[in-house]
Amino acid sequence: MIQVVISIGAAAVVTFIATPAASWLAARLGALDQPGARKVHAHPIPRLGGLPVVLGLSVGILALLATTASARTALIAVPIQWVVVPGALCVLVALGFRDDLRGVRADIKFLIQLGVAALVVSFSNMPHAIDLAPFGPRFELGSGMNLVGVLWIVAVINAVNMTDGLDGLAAGVGAIAAGTLALASYQLGAAVPAAVLGVTMGATLGFLPHNFPRARIFLGDSGSLGVGFLLGYLSFVSLARQGAWLIFPAVLALGVPLLDLSFVVLRRAAHAIGIVRSKASRERYGFASNGPIGLFVPDRRHVHHRLTDKGLSTQSAVLMLYGIAALLGGIATAAIHWPWIGPVAGVALATLAAYFGPKWLYDELRLLQRGALLPLFDHSILKSRAVHASWDAGFVAVAYLSARVLVSGPGALAQEGWLLLPETVATVAVTVAGFAIAGLYRIAFRNSGLSEALVLTRAVLFGVVLGGGARQLTFGGIGGLTPWFLQLYFTLTLVGGARFSFRLLDHMYQRGRRVGRRVLIYGAGRAGDFALREMLANPELGLVPIGFVDDLQVLADRTFCGYRVHAGGDNLTAILTALHPDALVVSTKKIPAARVSSISETCVRLGVRVLRFQMLLDATEVVREAKLSPRGLRAPMQDTTISLGAS
């Protein structure tokens, strides 16, 4: 153990001493990172920080070989790996060096990374399965693990490269990840990879004082590509138990870089796909291209950039990400001993990222608010009654079996086996037939409301009772009324949720619009509800509701139609000053004229425009050829107009 510590210390000391020389060399060669819109520094900074890191790493590895018998034994046992892996590392460092000097096209860099990863995978003893414990047995892939290894190594290389955006971030997170993987590998008996990872940690720690808290030199691509390669390769070959790769500890140990990489891919793909809303008489949604995905186009939208945009200082953002990396590293190390920790932590991390990423960091990932699913509802296949009946059959089957499991337990259903199939099919068929008889498939649910909800409830109730009765008569009872009540609840939830999903998604899309004049609606009543619906349904008005104002104090600070109600009266001036709306919409004529005049004076004084919402029923005769019917001449048509006019 003392020999490993000496090797780690040697790597750190050599890197620390050699870094000023690399800074001088970068200045002489012109390898300087210039300030720009994507950068946080205000003056040119040398880039070639990877050179002293690789030098320190080399010295540490040589010290390890000189002082550790197990390392020499591993060298003799598999000499090809000690040639291929360092050679691949040199190729990537040279690629990064060239990029730091003159720049290299992103697609060329990516292809070289793929080639290097494929080379080292083909000459290494790779795992042949993925350990999914405790979720299930190991997932055997055989030679398919080589492809997994290539993709993993390339992903980690690019993930570490993307974190090199703030002072000390890539080096610090890389050191934490290397230390975590070293501990995990040592616990699994992979002593030599653990020692190499420890030396990698030492080299990055030796570089860190020159890079944080105020950078005098950047790691550059020459460093981030090399460090990322070692972390990706060693985390794949060393985190294995009985030939199965421990995917959860590996992902957690590299959680911070991989999280940023995931956000990059998702947000750039989401940005490339637009949703258009037609202005035709029959409103439709469709997909539109916003241009190429641009996975290799740099921007200033990485996680660390978004944290600084939210008000954190550069050092605070870096320290925050250090803390997250250390926390995930500790969890990854614990998951080696207690496998259940890994999946739980992985699911928790994914859930938190899926919630807070769109909410706090990236608006483009608010897929439901952007209407990502709405064009699917306009596809001809989804309008077919046969497709609706097929979906309903699946919903009924899920509801029926779920109710049976909750009442009888999974063991009882497992004992029935294939005998369960005939009764399930019969119940589903009769239930769906009941839906059809009750008129479920004659209703258009695109703009459904209370009337459609009543028809749906009646149809589901009729279908479930009909299907339950048929099952009871044919196959006998299943334990009283409890299963049927549960099935009714599940079926109503699934069938109703599917029917009303468009209204829900359309509402989220309308609420998600952020372009237009910000308006407050005066009057949290029925007229205010109508005004809100008109603004959301007609984006051409260019009005974005931000809340309600009402003089009724009992409504203050409550929610109406999903928006906060602010207390009116004497508080109007304070509300307008705090919220800075562009306009105030008076939704009803029931407000006394004196109050409207007072509201108008306040708004004029604060520069807020006043609009009045009104519904006009304009009886207009349409000139057409007279047609006789048994009831005589047809009545003139009536046009309904809903308008927002200036008060």
Alpha carbon of 361 to those of 190, 265, 306, 370, 461: distances in Å? 39, 14, 6, 15, 44
The answer to whether residues 432 and 517 belong to one domain is no
- Asked if the structure places residue 627 within a domain, the reply is no
State what percent of residues in the chain have pLDDT above 90. Answer: 52
Q: Which domain holds residue 446?
A: 379-497
Residues 472 and 570 placed together within one structural domain of the fold: no
Q: Average of pLDDT values for 360-367?
A: 86
Query: 554, 511, 502: which is closest to 532 by C-alpha?
Result: 511
pLDDT (mean) for 115-126:
91
What pLDDT sits at residue 367?
84
Identify which has the larger pLDDT, 411 or 331: 331
- 492 and 552 in a single domain? The answer is no
Shared-domain flag, residues 191 and 51: yes
181 and 42 in one domain?
A: yes
Instruction: Give residue 629's pLDDT band: very low, low, confident or very high (50, 70, 90).
Output: very low
**pTM attached to this predicted model:** 0.79
Last residue of a domain, one of 469, 497, 525: 497
In 3D space, the residue among 166, 185, 189 whose CA is nearest the CA of residue 177 turns out to be 185
In this prediction, residue 291 carries a pLDDT of: 75
Which of 230, 259, 288 represents a domain boundary (last residue)? 259
pLDDT digit string (tens) for 571-623?
899 999 999 999 999 988 888 888 889 999 999 999 999 998 877 665 555 44
pLDDT at residue 537 is higher than 90:
no
Locus of tokens 């109600």: 565
User: Is pLDDT larger for residue 149 or for residue 366?
Assistant: 149
How far is the C-alpha of 227 from the C-alpha of 89, rounded, in Å? 9
Same domain, 20 and 164: yes
Strands 609-619 and 583-586, bridge-based pairing: parallel
Strand pairing partners for 277? 285
Range with the largest mean pLDDT of 81-85, 240-244, 332-336: 332-336
**For 624-635, what is the mean pLDDT?**
37
**212 shares a domain with 119:** yes
Residue 561 falls inside a structural domain? yes
Among 438, 473, 497, the domain boundary falls at 497
Q: Same domain, yes or no, for 535 and 402?
A: no
More confident residue, 477 or 280: 477
Residue 334 lies in a domain: no
CA 140 to chain centre: 29
- Are residues 86 and 182 located together in one domain of the fold? yes
Report H helices in 239-340: 247-253, 255-272, 303-309, 314-337
pLDDT value at 635 more than 70: no
CA distance 50 to 45: 14
d(CA 331, CA 297): 33
C-alpha distances (whole Å) from 53 to each of 27, 29, 110, 233, 318 are 18, 18, 22, 17, 20
In this structure, of 81-85, 91-95, 266-270, the range with the lowest mean pLDDT score is 81-85
Residues 605 and 464 in one domain: no
What span, in angstroms and rounded, lies between the C-alpha atoms of 54 and 221? 12
Q: Which two tokens stand for residue 432?
A: 């769906």
Mean pLDDT score, 35-52: 82
Averaged pLDDT for residues 313-341: 94
Rounded distance between C-alpha atoms, residue 639 and residue 647, angstroms? 23
Q: Is pLDDT larger for residue 42 or for residue 461?
A: 461
Q: Let me know if residue 128 belongs to a domain.
A: yes
Omega before residue 358 within 30° of 0, cis: no
State residue 280's pLDDT score. 61
**Number of structural domains, the chain?**
3
Task: Return d(Cα 126, Cα 110) in angstroms, integer.
Answer: 22
Q: What are phi and psi of 546, to 5 degrees?
A: -125, 0
Q: What is the mean pLDDT of residues 172-188?
A: 95
DSSP state letter for 167: T
Mean pLDDT for the chain overall: 86
Span 14-21, average pLDDT: 95
Structure token pair of residue 371: 């209407």
Residue 542 lies inside a defined structural domain of this protein: yes
Our CA dihedral for 191, 195, 196, 198, rounded to 10 degrees, sits at 140
Contact 320, 307 (CB under 8 A): yes
| pLDDT on residue 628 | 35
Provide φ and ψ at 616, rounded to 5°.
-115, 125
- 446 and 547: one domain? no
Average pLDDT over residues 209-234: 93
At residue 278, the 3 state secondary structure works out as coil
Distance CA 36, CA 409 (A): 63
pLDDT band, residue 514 (cuts 50/70/90): low
* Residue 525 within a domain: yes
pLDDT per residue as tens digits for the range 146-172: 999 999 999 999 999 999 889 999 999
Same domain, 488 and 594: no
Residue 105 belongs to some domain of the structure: yes
In a domain, 284, yes or no: no
Q: Which helix (H) or strand (E) holds 452?
A: helix 450-475
Token duo for residue 199:
């030396």
